[in-house]
Amino acid sequence: MPSEYGGADERYRFKIQILQRYRFGLSCICTAHPGRNCDGVAMPTDSDRLLYERIAQRIAQDLDSDIYRPGERLPGVRKLAGQYGVSIATVLEACRRLEDGGRLKARPRSGFFVLRTPRIRAREPAISNPPRMPSPVSGQDMALQLAKAANDPAMIGLGAAVPHARFMPMHAVERALARSVRERGQAAANYAFPPGEPALRRQIARRMAALGCAVAPEEIVITTGCHEALRLALKAVTRPGDTVAIESPTFYGLLQVIDSLGLKALEIPTHPRDGISLEALDFALDQWPVAACIVTPNFSNPLGSLMDETRKRALVRLLAARGIALIEDDVYGELHHRGERPGICLAHDTQGATVLHCASVSKTLSPGLRVGWIVPGRHLPAIEFQKYLLNLATPTVPQMAVAELLEHGNYDRHLRQARKDYAEAVERMRREVERLFPDGTRVTQPEGGFVLWVEFPAGIDGEVLYRTALTEGISIAPGPIFSATRKYRNCIRLNCAIPWDARVERALARLGQMAQLQLAAQA
Amino acid sequence: MPSEYGGADERYRFKIQILQRYRFGLSCICTAHPGRNCDGVAMPTDSDRLLYERIAQRIAQDLDSDIYRPGERLPGVRKLAGQYGVSIATVLEACRRLEDGGRLKARPRSGFFVLRTPRIRAREPAISNPPRMPSPVSGQDMALQLAKAANDPAMIGLGAAVPHARFMPMHAVERALARSVRERGQAAANYAFPPGEPALRRQIARRMAALGCAVAPEEIVITTGCHEALRLALKAVTRPGDTVAIESPTFYGLLQVIDSLGLKALEIPTHPRDGISLEALDFALDQWPVAACIVTPNFSNPLGSLMDETRKRALVRLLAARGIALIEDDVYGELHHRGERPGICLAHDTQGATVLHCASVSKTLSPGLRVGWIVPGRHLPAIEFQKYLLNLATPTVPQMAVAELLEHGNYDRHLRQARKDYAEAVERMRREVERLFPDGTRVTQPEGGFVLWVEFPAGIDGEVLYRTALTEGISIAPGPIFSATRKYRNCIRLNCAIPWDARVERALARLGQMAQLQLAAQA
């Protein structure tokens, strides 16, 4: 059997099949029933693909015309199969497609239910399909340019994932900063040498406990943002030349750190809803010597995917069994749009030997504070010293201010509001993308965070769009910088955390026009 | 001729002579007159040494007994030579010794004048004499421990070079922080992506202009303290395995960065008054391939030495001629105890190709703010990107606060006061060291900054002293961590920037007793 991985022997054949399935966008495949899904139903073959696409479209039309209303149960798959004259497997796959698209929700042993989401024209992107081998990082030179655009007040900032001040409790931050200097005297003037300000570490430890992690304050090291935490973590568990497994697409800051530490990136297929493909990761770890795996299990950037707790546990076990470090980036973990705060991988690391957990308040309180942290487990002494080497200490007063905000409830109160605001902002942006961007555009439907990943129809070039938009004062993030190998050329990422006004709406309309023009130029 | 450098050929013979002279503590040797000093007077030979030491002691006694008063001119060297029955060269050398010790001041073509300094018992240390070859850095593990001790309010902090809040304008800092958040809105919440907050870079550019450097704001990159600036500079101009020339002794933070970047340190003899020996550096550069030279020309740490403008220019020329980068650390540049602010090497870099200038407000406004900067010259694009890779950005609000303090004069007003306070604190500490430490103890007499370098008589172990003192709640910095090769075992560094009280006085007395005990145990 031919394989993109080259030289794969007999025992990998089944895994390759699974991987290929994954590329078709199937969301739930266990490895126990080759050729069948978890319910034991036979999986559709390649020749079925066009068929279930058509069935999915017909069901979607029924949903659009209100034949089935939000909250109602769809007829059983057997019944629908009869109705459309196709196999059960085909109907099942069509329903899964609609589930991926956010139109339906499967409930175990009850069937598919119609979701209460607004009418959705744009589908979600399929699982990603990056190259199957480690690669050095290339073409990251435009990332700093992109970041700088975020600092230009004249620019409409849809590029960098930087929340506008309106999403931040700036008044509370101001008071906390002033009070910290006033009340903490010498301590506020002094360096907060690693591991950092004790009051802040105590507050973080309390929040970790609420997530099921018994972490002592002295096991936490404060960093200048989550980015620095990730850098320290990577440096602690790799040596130059090593390979690091990452989600694909992933945020460009991470790719740059990988590059600057002399590492190679192995991009793993990642589903816009479920996150990194464990099956593909498992396969890749068999093929390549991987030193560490970096994952953003909660609302990854740019896809916004969310791994459920089962998958988080499976990820930790998979890596623990192979002795590979898992660097967990939880910077978006508190920005779920509804329901409970999702858990973290660290809670599943019962041996305490696998996970290095990183987070910050950059997406919740203010990125300008640059307060992040790492729970490095057994790497604590090394991380503490490396942090000291980088810049001696993270600024003191911001740490004290964050500690105060965490302690006195302002933080949680603010978070409740911020979550609502982000959910609305993302939803609004998504609707506008559907309305204004060319037909066939796909867009993610994240359940947290504040970015959208837009996949244009083939032929639209995200980098050309980026450069054209920049000349009109609109900043977006082009797809290729989210890949070590410059994939995702027809993609862009949009930051939704900006105050919505006519200017932003016009900017989106212009982006849509620019994309249409690209298509027209090709036709 | 035997040489510590090994294998030195004929053409280095003269330089070796100069180096050996340097070790005797002569402060002014040009290379034009072998065997003679700048005045054309024959230099003393080794056999003269004990003799001029004795003459120096006799003149010092005359000064102590008020035979010659501050401001008065000493009799001419010819007259003194007749008076003591020795050669003119011997008298001249004795006077130079007293000049090094701060008792006399030579004025060109006028002779030696008695200085207005208080009665000084302890002599200054001689020029340092480090090993003559590049070496990896060892034994830096205790440095973070030392830093942490600075954070312990129960500890008497004579160890880390961290000024107490009392020396900082904390009230002004508090107001500036609060005002920045209040008035700058979105910009205060946002990342200040490299090169950093524009208002701050403008203020720094203005101050650079006053120092004779035409630096545009966009040529300045803000960093998280000067330490990070030095790290970025080193990373930009070296590759792992390279050798870096440094002052010896130098501050341990720098040694750790050298180590963490996989570099080797070449320690250059450094005079406690005049700074790095240009002659020794010149010699060393002939011998070893050196990628960069890091110098603190103004009030180096720990020696407090100050290079005059002629020597700064000579240093820049020496390195420019060889195409070697000069990393200038000017973090203490504004803490001169009297007179004008000294100049910087960058001002002498007329080609703009040699100097990377680094500084911060950590020693003037507050170390906890962690605001520093670098003027990297032609390395600007690389430094800007590397800064971005480290931690995306330096915290925003502290940058804005510093910009405001610089702009509205608070900074200069504070500096005038701080300089007085530091001068007094250093002078007081020096007096106490003279009073309480064993006979034969040498101590620097810095003209700026706030640290003292203490050289005990041979046999007193600074590391033993450090550990014993720690058990009594006193933190000092042991000599060996200021050397890549763990030299300076009989030395310690003292931080003078602490509020003076009975507790501190008792701590110094205890240190003196501990040192005496060590001597007694040997006798």
- Cα B64 to Cα B61: distance, rounded to the nearest angstrom: 5
Give me the residues paired with residue A138 across strands. Answer: none
- Cα A199 to Cα A204: distance, rounded to the nearest angstrom: 9
The token pair that represents B453 in the structure block: 């370098």
| Amino acid letter, B124 | E
Contact status, residue A120 vs residue A441, Cβ threshold 8 Å = no
Does A240 sit behind a cis peptide bond, omega within 30 degrees of 0 on the bond before it? no
Does B70 sit behind a cis peptide bond, omega within 30 degrees of 0 on the bond before it? no
Give tens-digit pLDDT for B186-195. Answer: 888 888 999 9
The size of the A-B interface in CB pairs under 8 A is 206
Mean pLDDT confidence for B360-379 = 95
Which residues on B lie below 8 Å from A147 (Cβ)?
A: 191, 193-194, 388, 392
Contact status, residue B128 vs residue B248, Cβ threshold 8 Å = yes
SS3 letters for B306-354?
A: ECCHHHHHHHHHHHHHHCCEEEEECCCCCCECCCCCCCCHHHHCCCCCC
Give me the residues paired with residue B17 across strands. Answer: none
Tell me, yes or no, if B185 comes closer than 8 A to chain A by beta carbon: yes
Give tens-digit pLDDT for A452-483. Answer: 999 999 989 999 999 999 999 999 999 999 99
Can you give the pLDDT at residue B508? 96
CA distances from B451 to B424, B446, B455 (A): 12, 8, 13
Which among B181, B185, B367 has CB closest to A190?
Answer: B367
**Which of the listed ranges A13-17, A18-22, A63-67, A246-250 does the model predict with the highest average pLDDT?**
A246-250
SS3 letters for B407-436?
A: HCCHHHHHHHHHHHHHHHHHHHHHHHHHHH
Tell me, yes or no, if A164 comes closer than 8 A to chain B by beta carbon: yes
* pLDDT above 50: residue B112: yes
* CA angle in degrees (0–180, nearest 5) for B180-B186-B188: 35
Phi then psi for A475, rounded to 5 degrees? -105, 125
The sign of the CA dihedral B409, B410, B413, B418 is: negative
The token pair that represents B335 in the structure block: 């803490």
- Cα B68 to Cα B60: distance, rounded to the nearest angstrom: 10
Best to test chain A binding among B144, B329, B373, B394 (most A CBs inside 10 Å): B144
Give tens-digit pLDDT for A146-189. Answer: 777 767 888 999 998 889 989 999 889 999 999 998 898 788 88
Catalogue all structural domains in chain A, each as residue range(s) with its CATH number: 10-114 (1.10.10.10), 142-166+415-522 (3.90.1150.10), 169-411 (3.40.640.10)
Maximum Cα interatomic distance, chain B, rounded to a whole number of Å: 78
Can you give the pLDDT at residue B121? 58
Tell me, yes or no, if B173 comes closer than 8 A to chain A by beta carbon: yes
Tell me, yes or no, if B386 comes closer than 8 A to chain A by beta carbon: yes
- Cα A350 to Cα A311: distance, rounded to the nearest angstrom: 15
Residues 253-272 of A with CB under 8 A from B: 253, 256-257, 260
Give tens-digit pLDDT for A295-344. Answer: 999 999 999 999 999 999 999 999 999 999 999 999 999 999 999 999 99
Residues 208-247 of A with CB under 8 A from B: 223-225, 227-228, 231
Distance from CA of B173 to the nearest CA of A (A): 8
Give tens-digit pLDDT for A90-120. Answer: 999 899 888 887 888 888 888 899 887 554 5
Can you give the pLDDT at residue A362? 94
Tell me, yes or no, if B187 comes closer than 8 A to chain A by beta carbon: yes
CA distances from A489 to A268, A447, A463, B30, B62 (A): 17, 25, 7, 65, 85
* pLDDT above 60: residue A127: yes
Which residues on B lie below 8 Å from A254 (Cβ)?
A: none
Tell me, yes or no, if B312 comes closer than 8 A to chain A by beta carbon: no
The token pair that represents B340 in the structure block: 């004008």
Best to test chain B binding among A152, A228, A389, A404 (most B CBs inside 10 Å): A389
Closest chain A CA to residue B260: A389
* B513 Cβ contact list (under 8 Å, min separation 6): none
Closest chain A CA to residue B369: A395
Which among B187, B194, B367 has CB closest to A144?
Answer: B194
The token pair that represents B366 in the structure block: 């507050």
Q: How far apart are the first and last CA of chain B?
A: 37
**Strand B290-295, strand B243-248: pairing:** parallel
Give me the residues paired with residue A192 across strands. Answer: A394
Mean pLDDT for chain B overall? 87
Which residues on B lie below 8 Å from A151 (Cβ)?
A: 187, 190-193
- Cα B167 to Cα B393: distance, rounded to the nearest angstrom: 28
pTM here? 0.76
Tell me, yes or no, if A38 comes closer than 8 A to chain B by beta carbon: no
Written as one string, the DSSP assignment of B216-248 is -GGG-EEESHHHHHHHHHHHHH--TT-EEEEEE
Q: Which of B258, B264, B263, B257 lies closest to B240 in space, CA to CA?
A: B263
- Cα A130 to Cα A115: distance, rounded to the nearest angstrom: 31
* pLDDT above 50: residue B313: yes
ipTM for the predicted complex: 0.72
**Strand B264-271, strand B451-455: pairing:** unpaired
Residues 392-421 of A with CB under 8 A from B: 392-398
**For A437, which DSSP code?**
S
Closest chain B CA to residue A391: B228
